[in-house]
Structure 1
Amino acid sequence: MQDAQGEGWKNVKAIPRASHLRAVGVKFRMIESICLFDIKFSEGVLYIPCLKLFPATESFLRNITALQHSYYKHDCYFIDYVAFLGSLINTRADAKLLIKKRIINIDKWLGHDETSAKVDEALANLFNSFGKESQFWTRNVSFCSFLQKLKAYYRSHWHWLKVRMKRISVSKRKL
């Protein structure tokens, strides 16, 4: 992370997507909270409040993001939140994981006649439409700290080794 012209802005590299985080052992848990920003990472568990999607969710997200870009440039919590979800959700597999863990509630979003694959694809497309930046800027220090912890966990050789050992153990049991 780097400061942008000493104004307190931090350049944050995007986090790995949900399926990649799960591959190194990160567990996803939905937490009950009235605040969408109550995202925490502790001991390999990523706690995220439930985001309930409705038919107007996309326009709401776009309007709030545009409002913050225009008028609230110093308090971009919502933009940070959308960028965080955009980093997590890149493919249908990522969307499916967050829906399965009840982090994203799609009950009232699309028609119930939609197939699961269509819903997963639509959710991935929704967050991909906000842009797949490899980095973004924020002034939220606690958000930066949280992202650093999550990325450090992902990069840790120990966590990758544990995953490999589990796979070897499981494959030997099948023989």
Structure 2
Amino acid sequence: MTDLALADVDQGDERQLAAGGPADFDAFFAEESATRPREQLTLYGTTYTLPESLPLMFTLQMERVQDSSDPADVRKMLATLYGADVLDTWAEHGMTDRQLGVVLIYSAGNIRRPGSVTMQRAAELYAEQEAGKATAPNRAARRATTKKRKKAPSSGARS
């Protein structure tokens, strides 16, 4: 920042302090939010405008969804980004779990930095993520593999 820019910031802070009263984060965040770029996407004929930053509720729901098989948890998570009832709407249109994953990766990347992730790149990232989830062999398969056998205990006599 230049000295001139710092002087402007200092004057703004001084005006706020001179006005007195508590700091109004509601007004500050609303004003700041209005100036930040937002990405849009169209899916099944509906245009969705992504939030200007990743909602905390989405992050919390992502943690919950990882350990849950309850569709209500997924509905809550999606509602924070796209609005209510999108899970049912998308399912009615035949969305697959892969497509949902690609849309989520695309959305999360473009919420953080609008224009930073293409649909193709989101699909590639999804494929990489899925490749990393290769299932481990089950217990029977692990036991069937040959293991080194321990040497029989010696008699203790030296040869």
- Scaled to the shorter chain, the TM-score interval is under 0.3
Greater relative contact order structure (CA < 8 Å, 6+ sep): 1
Larger Rg: 2
Higher helix share: 2
